[in-house]
């Protein structure tokens, strides 16, 4: 039956409650009663079923405490090693990138080099690129002259005073002043600095010019032509990016092979400082000319002699001429004559002329009032053009682009390129031609490619100048400046020199009636194919070349004048003209007095 009023339900003596269910009595174990019921006080022991609980035994904890540090340490070591490797890989990537950049410049420089040296101050020009703009301690490594462009590339190492890593630097320059700077490596070893190795061709190639050699001593002191060099290697060691004795520096070698053929020497033997190729009279003093001097600091070779028209004197003078001298010596005073002389070939040795070859004597080589010192020597060696082979192998390239122009009024600046309509410079102008290559067509106003007026100062920057229809300096009081030392007429001449090529028309570089000052020097860079040659008038052009000089003018042509089929006309009054070697057809003194011509 049910229990009410808080009274306990009856139970049997075993502690089992008697519960009535559906009117019947039943027994229920107190242990299976609702857990929410409070346990009742009883004198009997109660059996409890324990709850499930998770945990570690002492042995498990001990195992974990032993193994966990091992695993954690291994993971830490892997992470540390990975980070170290990543740093090393990054350093190697940086080193490899520097090597790739350096190789791109270096191989191109060596391929294009005309000469090489390890001398910081070469014995001959040009000098290395100036390192004055580099900040820190500078050490020269290697120098290269590039072919054709007259540029120099100089390699230096630079250690900043701030303690920053040492750099490998490449400088590119024209006329000594760097126009570009490239850092090829920003961290090279100071204990094992970059070292160049220049390997000469062994045995030397055949056909090289006389006196050209390749030796370690020579390379260390001056420029050496790269056609004597097989390879040029620069060994580079990168500095360690991290300290420690375990550092393994990154090393690489830059190697290039010069691409330069053996040039034909500009002058071949036999040759003289004055070589006249004409078969008629080579040197003529016309009527009323007196007091003329040709002072050749070296040999004079004349090609006159018998031809189909008979015997033509090599040197002659007209009526009323006196005190004219032709001297071949070794000093500019033309007083001392040593082994040089005047050689006249007076037999063409050509059966087609129908004339016999004389076997002795000078055969009327000199006529009129002319003093020749030393006495001419007849020679059986035919005078030939010493620059013919050179000219055939070095044709002047035509320029059609870019279209160029001059800007400015009283001071004009002219850019390199093509002037289809030539150029006529008005009077009273200062004209500055920038460095580069030029070509001038015909100007309708002056009927020439380039015309210079009166009281002009024309500064020719380093480069090649092609005149398709001649050059005309017809004004007075003008100055043509290009290379050479400063003078009162050319106080600031552009450095580097020029090369003038006349493919057609006359070359008129003077005015006999007025004073013009001409100071021109040839391109000095030996890598330029026209270095040393100031004026070349094409051999098919037989128009005359005028070298005129008035009393107060200074005319200096420091390079070779090569006009093989032209007559050089000389005018002047009481002054002088100085030139380099001359190769021409003939020379004519026309209505001039006391003109001194020095050829050396």
Query: pLDDT grade, residue 290 (50/70/90)?
Result: confident
pLDDT in tens, 149-174: 568 899 999 998 887 888 899 999 87
For the ranges 46-50, 81-85, 176-180, 262-266, the maximum mean pLDDT occurs at 176-180
CA angle 351/544/561 to nearest 5° reads 85
Would 379 be classed as within a structural domain?
A: no
Would 527 be classed as within a structural domain?
A: yes
CA-nearest of 278, 340, 273, 349 to 315 is 278
The pLDDT assigned to 552 comes to 66
Would 80 be classed as within a structural domain?
A: no
Domain final residue, candidates 256, 273, 294: 256
Would 357 be classed as within a structural domain?
A: no
The number of distinct structural domains making up the chain is: 2
Average the pLDDT over each of 242-251, 490-499, 519-528, 578-587 and give the range with the smallest value. 242-251
The pLDDT assigned to 120 comes to 93
Q: Is the pLDDT score of 361 beyond 60? A: no
- How far separated are the first and last CA of the chain, in Å rounded? 153
The pLDDT assigned to 102 comes to 81
Domain that holds residue 505: 396-560
C-alpha dihedral sign at 124, 125, 127, 129? negative
Q: Is the pLDDT score of 18 beyond 50? A: no
Count the alpha carbons within 13 Å of 292 in the hemisphere toward its beta carbon.
Answer: 30
The pLDDT assigned to 443 comes to 93
Mean pLDDT of the chain: 78
Would 401 be classed as within a structural domain?
A: yes
Domain final residue, candidates 193, 228, 256: 256
pLDDT in tens, 99-120: 777 888 898 899 888 889 999 9
pLDDT in tens, 338-355: 445 777 766 544 444 445
Rounded Cα–Cα distance for residues 17 and 24 (Å): 13
pLDDT in tens, 365-420: 777 778 887 777 777 677 888 888 788 878 888 888 899 999 999 999 999 999 99
Region 3-20 average pLDDT: 43
The pLDDT assigned to 578 comes to 86
Question: Using CB atoms within 10 A of its CB, is residue 325 exposed (0-12), middle (13-18) or buried (19+)?
Answer: middle
Would 249 be classed as within a structural domain?
A: yes
pLDDT in tens, 24-36: 444 444 444 444 4
Q: What is the CA radius of gyration of the chain?
A: 47
Would 349 be classed as within a structural domain?
A: no
Is pTM beyond 0.85? Reply is: no
CA-nearest of 504, 511, 581 to 543 is 504
Rounded Cα–Cα distance for residues 167 and 134 (Å): 11
Would 431 be classed as within a structural domain?
A: yes
Q: Is the pLDDT score of 94 beyond 70? A: no
Domain final residue, candidates 228, 256, 284: 256
């Amino acid at each position: 039956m049910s229990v009410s009023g808080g009274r306990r339900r009856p139970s049997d003596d075993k502690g089992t409650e008697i519960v009535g269910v559906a009117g019947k009595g039943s027994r229920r174990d107190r242990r299976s009663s609702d857990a929410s019921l409070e346990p009742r006080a009883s004198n009997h022991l109660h059996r409890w079923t324990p709850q499930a609980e998770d945990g570690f035994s002492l042995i498990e904890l001990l195992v974990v405490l032993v193994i966990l540090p091992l695993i954690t340490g291994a993971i830490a070591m892997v992470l540390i090693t990975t980070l170290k490797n990543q740093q090393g890989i990054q350093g190697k990537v940086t080193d490899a990138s520097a090597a790739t950049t350096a190789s791109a410049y270096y191989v191109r420089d060596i391929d294009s080099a005309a000469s090489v040296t390890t001398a910081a101050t070469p014995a001959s020009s040009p000098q290395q690129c100036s390192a004055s703009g580099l900040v820190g301690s500078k050490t020269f490594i290697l120098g290269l002259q590039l072919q054709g462009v007259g540029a120099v590339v100089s390699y230096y190492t630079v250690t900043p005073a701030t303690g920053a890593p040492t750099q490998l630097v490449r400088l590119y320059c024209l006329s000594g002043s760097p126009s570009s700077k490239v850092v090829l490596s920003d961290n090279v070893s100071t204990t094992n600095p970059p070292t160049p190795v220049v390997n000469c061709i062994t045995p030397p190639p055949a056909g090289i010019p006389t006196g050209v050699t390749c030796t370690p001593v020579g390379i260390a002191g001056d420029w050496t032509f790269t056609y004597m060099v097989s390879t040029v290697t620069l060994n580079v060691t990168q500095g360690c990016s991290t300290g420690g004795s375990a550092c393994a520096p990154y090393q690489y070698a830059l190697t290039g092979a010069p691409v330069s053929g053996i040039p034909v020497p500009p002058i071949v033997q036999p040759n003289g400082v004055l070589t006249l190729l004409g078969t008629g009279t080579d040197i003529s003093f016309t009527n009323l000319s007196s007091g003329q001097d040709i002072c050749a600091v070296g040999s004079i070779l004349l090609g006159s002699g018998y031809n189909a028209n008979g015997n033509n004197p090599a040197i002659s003078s007209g009526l009323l001429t006196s005190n004219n001298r032709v001297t071949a010596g070794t000093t500019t005073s033309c007083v001392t004559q040593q082994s040089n002389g005047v050689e006249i070939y007076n037999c063409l040795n050509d059966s087609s002329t129908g004339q016999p070859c004389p076997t002795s004597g000078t055969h009327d080589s000199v006529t009129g009032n002319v003093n020749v010192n030393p006495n001419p020597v007849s020679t059986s060696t035919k005078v030939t053009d010493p620059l013919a082979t050179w000219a055939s192998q070095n044709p002047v390239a035509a320029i059609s682009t870019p279209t160029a122009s001059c800007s400015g009024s009283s001071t004009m600046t002219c850019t390199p390129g093509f002037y289809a309509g030539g150029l006529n410079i008005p009077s009273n102008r200062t004209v500055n031609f920038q460095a580069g290559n030029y070509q001038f067509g015909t100007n309708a106003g002056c009927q020439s490619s380039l015309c210079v007026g009166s009281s002009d100062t024309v500064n020719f920057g380093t480069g090649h100048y092609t005149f398709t229809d001649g050059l005309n300096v017809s004004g007075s009081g003008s100055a043509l400046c290009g290379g050479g030392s400063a003078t009162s007429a050319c106080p600031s001449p552009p450095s580097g020199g020029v090369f003038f090529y006349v493919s057609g028309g006359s070359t008129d570089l003077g005015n006999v009636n007025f004073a013009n000052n001409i100071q021109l020097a040839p391109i000095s860079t030996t890598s330029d194919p026209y270095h040393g040659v100031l004026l070349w008038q094409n051999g098919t052009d037989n128009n005359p070349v005028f070298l005129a000089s008035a009393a107060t003018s200074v005319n200096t042509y420091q390079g070779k004048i090569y006009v093989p089929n032209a007559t050089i006309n000389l005018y002047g009054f009481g002054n002088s003209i100085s030139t380099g070697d001359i190769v021409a057809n003939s020379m004519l003194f026309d209505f001039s007095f006391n003109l001194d011509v020095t050829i050396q």
